[in-house]
């Protein structure tokens, strides 16, 4: 890395990052915080590019900024929609606040409260400085596992080192991580229901038209991202995120044919990727260890796993965006009334 030539750029990125983070955490306006959060994600993606991590940059742009932002926005929308008083969204803190206010009415209480805050800040600052000095003083940084990855690259069946680590050397981590995504969907479905068949009918025709053009393109991009993961930056997560973004766009635009009712096909799709990954891993037990792809088939198997997982991840993320088990009024109205 030609380290000194771009220092100004780095400084701008860093200062923007810290400033955005400070602003988004400090502002009392939730919507503003939301917008700042999305831009924070985008600047973060810039930092990843600068730090030679294109895979992470893609994932951050697609997942961190592209999907988390809408997640927050729809949550904010739901939070505001439920109650009239936007100001009273402090769920559990009202009581707590009251206590603090009661304490701070007296001068002695105010001083103690201030002292506590100073103590807390001082503690954190000391910790920060301590950790930073460790980072500064210990000059020697281990080269890490890069050497080993480079040595074994040939045997992994893929060209991109990050994909080799993700799906071959440390494929077990990735398997569990996909399970985390799956559990998140199960958890979200167990928590809330969303009425899907309600349509506002107020979507602008221009939006629908644009989405009709963009969605197929995005799906194309997603597939190519998954495919190019074997030799360039990209892979199942990035591709899946783009796929999910296409799904989110279509849902927001209320395209008529799109329904995400948790019937068997949808559940099958959700389970498909994890099950293929797990199944291939187990089938490797036939003549080897768990997840030990036979040499000549490794590349093909990894591509297969990436495709299957990419599809499932896309659907999973879209389901997370929906934010609950979609319920069709016509199909299980009875269940909804009985449930919460």
Partner 1 sequence: MREVLDLTGIVLIVCGLPFFLSGSLGLLRFPDIFTRLHALTKADNVGLGLIVLGLICQAGSLFEALRLLMVWLLVLIASSASCHLIARSALEKNIKPWMRS
Partner 2 sequence: MTVLFAYKLGGLCLFFMGFTALILRSHPLKKIMAVNVMAAGVFLLFIAMACHGRVGVAIDPVPQAMVLTGIVVSVSVTALALVLACRIQETSGGAGSSEGEHPPQGDS
Partner 3 sequence: MPTVSASFWMVLPVVLPLAGGLLCFLWRQRSLWLPLAFALVNLIVVIRLTRLLLIQGPLHYQIGGWETPLGIVLVLDGPALLMLLLTALCGAGVTCYARGYFAYRISAQKQPGRHERQERFFWPLWLMLLAALNGLFLSGDIFNIYVTLELLSISAVALAALSGKPVAQLASFRYLLASLLGSLSYLLGIFFIYRSHGVLDLGLLRAVVEPGSSMTAGLVLMSCGLLLKSAAFPLHFWLPPAHANALAPVSAILSGLVIKGSLYLLFRFWFDTFASLISPAALNVIGMLGILAVFWGGILALLQQRLKLLVAYSTVSQVGYFLIAFPLAYHDATLSVWTAFLFMILAHGCAKVAMFMAAGTMYLHSGHDRMRDLHGIRLVMPLTVFAYGMAGVNLMGLPPSGGFVGKWLLLTGAFDDGQWWWSVAIMAGGLLAAAYVFRVMSPLFQAPVGASIFDGRPTPALLEWPPLVLSLIALLLGLFAPGIMALLTANGGAVISGGLP
d(CA 9, CA 50): 9
| Interaction between residue 137 and partner 3 (CB under 8 A) | yes
SS3 state at 81 = helix
Q: Which of 268, 334, 314, 340 is nearest to 67 (CA)?
A: 314
DSSP state at residue 66: T
| Interaction between residue 285 and partner 1 (CB under 8 A) | no
Does the CA dihedral 318-324-328-331 come out positive or negative? positive
- Determine which residue in the list 91, 136, 180, 206 makes contact with partner 1, applying CB under 8 A: 206
Minimum CB–partner distance for residue 82 and partner 1 (Å): 20
| Interaction between residue 149 and partner 3 (CB under 8 A) | yes
Q: For residues 35 and 275, which CB has a smaller minimum distance to partner 3 in the complex?
A: 275
Query: Is the Cβ–Cβ distance between 236 and 313 less than 8 Å?
Result: yes
Binding segment for partner 3 among 58-66, 81-89, 128-136, 206-214 (CB under 8 A)?
128-136
Q: For residues 172 and 300, which CB has a smaller minimum distance to partner 3 in the complex?
A: 172
| Interaction between residue 224 and partner 1 (CB under 8 A) | no
| Interaction between residue 277 and partner 2 (CB under 8 A) | no
Residue carrying structure tokens 């199942």: 236
Q: Exposure string (b/e) for 99-132, b if CB count within 10 Å is 16 or more?
A: eeeeeeeeeeeeeeeeeeeeeeeeeeeeeeeeee
| Interaction between residue 311 and partner 2 (CB under 8 A) | no
326 forms beta bridges with 194
Residues 6+ apart with CB under 8 A from 118: none
Q: Which of residues 278-337 bind partner 3 (CB under 8 A)?
A: 278, 281-282, 285, 288-293, 334-335
| Interaction between residue 214 and partner 1 (CB under 8 A) | yes
Minimum CB–partner distance for residue 213 and partner 1 (Å): 7
325 forms beta bridges with 193
Q: Which of 218, 202, 222 is nearest to 250 (CA)?
A: 218
Binding segment for partner 2 among 103-111, 116-124, 270-278, 281-289 (CB under 8 A)?
116-124
Q: Which of residues 19-58 bind partner 2 (CB under 8 A)?
A: 21-22, 24-26, 30, 33, 37, 40, 44, 47-48, 51-53, 55-56
d(CA 320, CA 154): 37
| Interaction between residue 266 and partner 2 (CB under 8 A) | no
Query: Is the Cβ–Cβ distance between 40 and 34 less than 8 Å?
Result: no
Q: Which of residues 85-104 bind partner 2 (CB under 8 A)?
A: 85, 88-94, 96-97
* Segment (H or E) for 195: strand 193-195
Query: Is the Cβ–Cβ distance between 236 and 62 less than 8 Å?
Result: no
- Determine which residue in the list 226, 245, 317, 327 makes contact with partner 2, applying CB under 8 A: 317
* Segment (H or E) for 256: none
Q: For residues 72 and 272, which CB has a smaller minimum distance to partner 2 in the complex?
A: 72
| Interaction between residue 217 and partner 1 (CB under 8 A) | yes
Q: Given the rule CB under 8 A, which residues bind partner 3? A: 91-92, 130-131, 134, 137-138, 140-145, 148-149, 152, 168-173, 175-177, 179-180, 182-184, 186-187, 189-191, 264, 267-268, 270-271, 274-275, 278, 281-282, 285, 288-293, 334-335, 338-340
Residues that bind partner 1 (CB under 8 A): 204, 206-207, 210, 213-214, 217
């Amino acid at each position: 890395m030609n380290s000194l030539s771009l220092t100004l750029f780095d400084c701008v990125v860093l200062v923007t990052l810290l400033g955005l983070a400070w602003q988004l955490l400090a502002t009392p306006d939730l919507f503003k915080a939301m917008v700042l959060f999305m831009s924070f994600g985008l600047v973060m993606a810039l930092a990843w590019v600068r730090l030679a991590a294109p895979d992470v940059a893609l994932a951050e742009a697609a997942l961190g900024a592209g999907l988390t932002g809408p997640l927050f926005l729809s949550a904010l929308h739901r939070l505001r929609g439920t109650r009239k008083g936007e100001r009273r969204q402090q769920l559990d803190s009202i009581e707590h606040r009251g206590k603090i206010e009661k304490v701070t009415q007296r001068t002695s209480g105010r001083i103690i409260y201030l002292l506590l805050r100073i103590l807390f800040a001082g503690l954190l600052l000391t910790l920060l400085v301590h950790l930073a000095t460790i980072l500064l003083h210990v000059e020697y940084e281990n080269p890490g596992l890069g050497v080993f990855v480079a040595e074994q690259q040939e045997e992994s069946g893929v060209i991109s080192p990050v994909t080799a680590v993700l799906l071959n050397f440390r494929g077990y981590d990735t398997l569990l991580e996909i399970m985390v995504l799956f559990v998140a969907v199960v958890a979200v479905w167990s928590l809330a229901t969303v009425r899907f068949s309600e349509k506002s009918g107020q979507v602008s025709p221009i939006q629908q038209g644009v989405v009709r053009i963009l969605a197929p393109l995005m799906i194309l991009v997603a597939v190519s991202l998954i495919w190019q993961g074997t030799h360039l930056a990209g892979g199942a997560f990035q591709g899946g995120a783009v796929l999910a973004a296409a799904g989110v766009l279509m849902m927001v635009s209320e395209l008529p044919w799109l329904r995400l009712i948790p019937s068997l096909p949808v559940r099958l799709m959700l389970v498909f990727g994890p099950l293929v990954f797990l199944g291939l891993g187990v089938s490797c037990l036939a003549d080897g260890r768990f997840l030990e792809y036979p040499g000549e088939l490794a590349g093909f198997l990894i591509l297969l796993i990436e495709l299957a997982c990419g599809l499932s991840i896309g659907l999973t993320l879209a389901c997370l965006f929906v934010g609950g088990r979609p319920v069709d009024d016509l199909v299980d109205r009875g269940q909804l009334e009985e449930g919460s």
